[in-house]
Structure 1
Amino acid sequence: MNRPSVHELECFVAVAEALSFSKAAAKLNLSQPALSRQIQGLESKLTARLLERNTRSVSLTHAGRLYLDDAKQLLTQLDRATEVIRRVGAGEPQRLRLAFVGALLDDGLVRLLQKFRTGRPDCQIHMVDMAPAEQLTALVGGEIDGAFIGAAPAKVSRQIETLVWKREPLQVVLPEQHALANGASLKLAQLKAESWVMVSAKAAPGFREHVSVLCRQAKFQPKVVQESDRVAAVLTMVAAGQGISVLPESLSRWLGVGVVFKNMHESKAMLTHAFAFRRGDPGAELQEFARMLAAQEG
């Protein structure tokens, strides 16, 4: 197979990002004719035109836009594989950089991490608390290796893969003195006239999207009067009587007074916890960790 070279990929990415042959040539320390030859060679191998260029501008074709993500991903994977081997050769310990949502940290996740460490004592785990949206950005940028993002958004970067590792019920959160606080369980439709306090869509897009779908199925759109990036603030606002909310069952332990958690009748009122990682990541530690997660889904 007449495969593109790494140099050709680097040249294409540089031009595609700068949309300028002169700027890309300067960045790569190449002459413009040499850079043009690399692009022409790549297009010849792919039998597709990636760039439209004239004397005044450069733009990506449809094929070029599709190929750009793959080319960047291939270069990132090569860089990471090279770095892994460099570190092994230098005798450095292995590590796994994982992000999580602090509000969703529970005994199950701690046990998973302990199980992995028992099997791989040579691999250090570095944990960082991040909002789901920040996790996805950090993944694409190579700042972390994997992320416990909670509910996965409907659309994520083509560079990211997700797997389900856990499911838990969603519950309605009410102020203690709310008129519905004494019932055994609730239907979402009973809440359409309520004021809602929610985790922001910016911080947790997948979770908000899922709650919106549930409400649409119940024939209403929630009247959201307050938002916060942090669950603790949402619970505090509910306890203060500013509105009701919907949150995962595991968060019922967070605040012992001021709020009441109630089950919902809706069978689809479940939070699907997703673990995200870069597609095709060559790291053996990450692959092993992902396999362990997939094996214990529940």
Structure 2
Amino acid sequence: MLDRIRSFLAVLEAGSVNRAAGQLGIAQPTLSRHIQSLEQEIGGPLFERDNKGMLPTDLGFHLRDSFEPIIKNYDLALADVCAFAQGRQQQLRVGYLGMAASKFLNPALSKLKAAHPDIQLLLFDQTPAEQLQALQAGKLDVALIGQEGAAQTNDFYKRRAAKLGVCAALPSEHPLAAEPELSLAQLKGERFIGVTPKDVPGRNHWMTELCSQAGFKPRFIKNSESVTETFTLIAGENAVTLLPDYISSPPPPGVVFCRLTDKWAHWELFVLRQRGRGSAPARQLVDWIGI
């Protein structure tokens, strides 16, 4: 059951069985069987399948909301037990924003493994709120988090890892969708998709502040709980949102990215670690992220 739930979450995040299978390192038919078996066990379809990919049904969203926190807590609990059994000095527990990992975290991890070949890395793809909770509970050593989450606490050592631009995510049929770049003022009057504050505290405030500098107040019509749901709502509700431009993967069908030309529009990525008690590898990793 646990493996099938993980498979479901991977397909939901990737929006495609083929992409999810590649990320998980398993065959596409095997992953499809996992999803079909889970649907049979639960008693209903979890995805709508069409030529645009795999879109979650209401049941799929309900399953994600019910089980995603359980899976993440399970991973944290298992890591904590392993750390206790094997000795923390040989382990480093790192939380991160999934879509920022390939550009900012992975190069630093490679450098760390070269310097400490025996260290065991325990990696957790978590929302900013989950990272902060895990840091406060002593279940993470290092966290890669956005400026919104970093602003929520002064309990940890923090360092800015990168200052990034901003892009607008638009429906592919939007009149501005053919423009590779645009100014934020061009989105005045648009309907905006926000983010659930409990998952990404401060993100909606960040968007509101940017729009205020452009001379208008955004009208949020819905909050999403994941990047996948955000893209679904953009296409389905004919709405827009603002995202840090670290997202390097192509947008899903029905969505386009347009970079903002406003020089003052930016987003910052931070790395946090425990104060005073950080190991040498933890301090090194913090220094290397974003270099």
Q: Specify if TM > 0.5.
A: yes
Where does residue 264 of structure 1 map in the other structure?
A: 260
State how many pairs are aligned.
209
1:119-158 aligned at under 5 Å gives the runs 119-153=115-149, 155-158=151-154
1:99 pairs with 2:103: no
Name the residue aligned to 2:71.
Answer: none
Write out aligned runs for 1:108-187 (5 A): 108-153=104-149, 155-187=151-183
CA–CA distance in structure 2, aligned partners of residues 121 and 257 of structure 1 = 41
- The reply on whether 1:200 has 2:184 as its aligned counterpart is no
Q: Deviations over 1:47-73 (max 9, x none)?
A: xxxxxxxxxxxxxxxxxxxxxxxxxxx
Alignment CA distance shift 1:146-1:92 (3 Å): closer
Cα shift at 1:265? 2.0
Aligned match of 1:248 in 225, 244, 247? 244
Which digits, 9 at most, give the CA deviation of each residue in 1:111-163, with x for residues without a partner? Answer: 22111111111211100111101211211110111111122447433322211
Structure 2 residue aligned with 1:17: none
Could you give the per-residue CA deviations for residues 231-259 of structure 1, whole angstroms, max 9, x where no partner exists? 11101211224311111223252534211
1:287 maps to 283
| Corresponding position of 1:78 | none
| Counterpart amino acid of residue 263 in structure 2 | S
The 4+ residue runs of structure 1 with deviation greater than 4 A are 90-93
| d(CA) in 1 for partners of 2:151, 2:251 | 33
Q: Which amino acid aligns with 1:95?
A: Q
- How far off is 1:225 after superposition? 0.7
Post-superposition shift, 1:218? Answer: 1.4
Whole-Å separation in 2 of the counterparts to 1:206 and 1:112: 27
SS in structure 2 opposite 1:106?
helix
Instruction: String of CA shifts for 1:17-52, please: whole Å, max 9, x gaps.
Output: xxxxxxxxxxxxxxxxxxxxxxxxxxxxxxxxxxxx
User: How many angstroms apart in 1 are the aligned matches of 2:104 and 2:145?
Assistant: 15
Contact 1:153 1:209 in 2 (8 A): no
Distance across 1 between alignment mates of 2:174 and 2:108? 38
Unmatched 5+ residue regions in structure 2?
1-82
8 Å contact 1:103–1:231 — kept in the other structure? no
> 2:53 — aligned with what?
none
Deviations 1:173-208 (A, max 9, x none): 111110111234222122121111122232112433
Structure 1 partner of 2:19 = none
Deviates more, 1:157-166 or 1:129-138: 157-166
Q: How does 1:21-40 map to 2 (within 5 A)?
A: none
Letter in 2 for 1:203: D
Amino acid at match of 1:123: I
Q: Give distance in 1, aligned partners of 2:244 and 2:150.
A: 19
Distance in 2 of aligned mates of 1:218 and 1:122? 50
Distance in structure 2 (CA, Å) of the matches to 1:91 and 1:278 = 17
Inter-partner Cα distance in structure 1 for 2:87 and 2:237: 57
SS in 1 for 2:91: strand
Uncovered stretches (5+) of structure 1, i.e. residues with no partner: 1-85
- Note if contact 2:194-2:241 (Cα within 8 Å) is conserved in structure 1: yes
Aligned to 2:221: 225
**1:291 Cα deviation from its structure 2 partner:** 2.3
What's the C-alpha RMSD, in Å, of the aligned pairs? 2.5
Matched to 2:121, the amino acid is: I
Aligned to 1:42: none
